[in-house]
Structure 1
């Protein structure tokens, strides 16, 4: 065992269907090693306010239920830290809280911005001479984290979208042709089109090889070409299916947005309705638009077994590395082992991958409005396995009750 005795874990940013699998992995490994574990309520907000929970021992059955529960069991926040040379106050508060609880290691579970925060805290702790281990645990449904084969959370969101699109497409195909029809699905994906591209996997089942059109933020296209491609699909099948990422742009501008969030980015949404309106007005199609929104990142009932297993493993690995005391300022990266077709964990410098986006590769974009089949060689292994969701009363999921882990700890 290393010198680490007390760990704090925090969840950050948007949720995934498997972020609590990472939390379960953290808890299980901390228990196995006899370490004291705290968790911050609402992520960085709790870390700065000293709002920490002393995580109680959980049984194997409780950990399994927790791992299949959506949302963030300890709460989350979107809060970036400033450059300490510009404003050191948040760091002063953070290190005061960690000292009060005698914390040796901070595990931060998040996406691009959160991994950048790992690097910032690690760098500032070293500058101040504070003995603190800081490790990032990756997660994002956007799959845009660099330094990892995939981002935990992405395969499950992709699996939900693919399945939902497949089901809706079979419904659409059940009706006789009585005029042009169209189905448009809008996925999440601000700057990276991994989620929208994933729906291409439905073509492995659909006879019509839908989706007929895929529109990604990485694509350059024009309205005339899109309408021509949609019209051609309708001529072949009687209907057209379209998947568009919320961040798709035309002439460098978002197709639609909802407004600007305070102190943060523009809230996107509405791209599907824009394209649906074009299909209705230009082609006379009867159009249905689906926006899965939160559903795609919260669908714990249909998680990828690979995603669930790896999400748990990155949590376990973060605790193990913290206890060993040999790594800090790193993210747990997921590496595909070609020899076994399994997964291994590799330390990735947080400073080199934080706040960087891995866009959907240009080599996997097939014009017009399609993705290359080579992408499926990457994607399909991530979707493998059917989940064994704990089932409760009336056939509904037996999710872990959030109230079980909400008691604040005031004393170190």
Structure 2
């Protein structure tokens, strides 16, 4: 039987108190559910209500659990580990003090939960910022703090702007262009079905054009020249209902716009996210903790929890951005490989060289981000290795083309993860703007 760790561990109690100490009713209920699952009784009955500081509740709950014996201790550690599966601090504690529980949450599941927890981190921080505003502290914010929060808001605005343009273009890419793209083939026949499809997507493209024009009109220092090209492409596609050449010309132009602008706005999103000065918000929270109005243990606990979540928010975002940058390097190598594959007689030596470079990078990605790894990559890599080892050159070319397609899908998945995180973080604009409005 595994040796139960002591629950009278200051590090463990601090970790748990921070995790459930955001000051919201739902935080108390979440900890209560874990406690009740072990003790078959509620916190309210045995320890205290949600008006008590979370650190005091955790200490009281742990004393009762420990009195029940080692089985109960292991049970609550396991329950906490599962409930807080994306909590890095708790995982490190479990690794050192209760490693037999570690297998309950594999590394890939932990990383996925840690990334997926960004929305909850934003919710905790937002709740505390709202509390600061509701306590009437907005008027006490100094000019330096206003400037700091204003800079955060500015970068969140940039993030939201770039993401909105990217979303519109991505919708065009995955809907209208995905449907009409095959019509680029030179043997396209303008059947009744084809013309109906073109007409439907012309309407969708015009709607997207209107959204782009409206969104870009409110921005300054933004390149809008490509929007005119977008409009001309729609016109050519519309003419394509009767003219196959005009259709192909319009689709070719649209494809070029999507390739260029999606990359450009993807880079803007990453740059804006990278420039958000989370440390300024952290300092703001820490400065508020020094005010007399926050002298109560419960209020201080909420500020501490929000500060800690802000650090984690920044950490997870930067990990995801670093993963995205690494994948950009892999994608660049995929483009070089693809160009070689387009040759009439691809060089086997060059194919092997590109594959060797890719394999080393992919090994690193598989090891460092298993939660963002598609299992199809493993079978595709094996197929390439076997094909390159065989004598037939055609098999290697086919295997590498398949891998390029799967690799691109994997990169799109990482790209989506960045966009999802940016979307969640953008929600911080609301409480920050409301604070600034009242200063």
Higher strand share: 1
> TM-score normalised by the shorter chain: which range applies?
under 0.3
Q: Which has the larger radius of gyration?
A: 2
